[in-house]
Amino acid sequence: MAKLYFFYSAMNAGKTTSLLQSAHNYRQRGMTALIYTPERDLRGGAAVVSSRIGLQEPAFPFGESFDLFEDIRARRAAGPVDCVFVDEAQFLTPAQVLQLTMVCDQLNIPALTYGLRTDFRGEPFEGSKYLLAWAEELVEVKTVCRSGRKATMSARMSAEGGREIEGEQVQIGYHYEPLSRHLFNLPACSPIPYPPVKPALAPLPPSGASAPPDEAP
């Protein structure tokens, strides 16, 4: 049977580049790959999946009420569908993740999703929670923190280069930086009320600062 995959990482790890390369591999072999992207993601333009290194492909946009299962089933009725790709999968609703399990289990079409696990405060995205719970294959796409450690978190940065730890979970116009959990300073920015007094958020060290040998990636 087909499987549901979740490729996850912090920001700037090359998830979209990997998605586009995989979709290209399918198409190069004469197979049909469908690409979906949230309609809120307009970085490369409407209905386009675009990577930071300049690769891009047209995609089917989806909003919160969009039924992925019904759309993919209708497209398969009109012609072969060999694989489904979803970019920015953290923005899927729980119902849409359920629909992707049905794409795999009832239509026997593999679904490959790519996204973030957590937001700028370390909180899990709703779509990612269900992907982590229900996907058969969980694949970490690795990237590196400025300290040299493996980056697992995504910090929201202001135009002046400072950390932002308040605001909406999804907010356009910010730069995000991948950080290790240690440098991210989770107790200072998590909304979880522990410890009783939040520690101060220390300035980030300069890029290239060495990680201790036992904590290097």
In the numeric block, which tokens belong to residue 160? 């002046």
The encoded tokens of residue 57 equal 């492909």
Three-point CA angle 153, 92, 179, nearest 5°? 5
What is the 3-class SS of 100-128, one letter each residue? HHHHHHHHCCCEEEEEECECCCCCECHHH
Residue 108 Rama label (left phi>0; alpha psi -120 to 50; beta): left
Q: How many other CB atoms are there within 10 angstroms of residue 90's CB atom?
A: 23
Q: In the annotation, is 140 catalytic? A: no
From 88, 123, 160, 164, the catalytic residue: 88
CB 90 within 8 A of CB 125: yes
Per-residue tokens: 118 = 């957590």
d(CA 17, CA 180): 22
Alpha-carbon distance of 31 to 180, in angstroms, equals: 38
Per DSSP, the three-state class of 143 is strand
Residues annotated as catalytic are 88
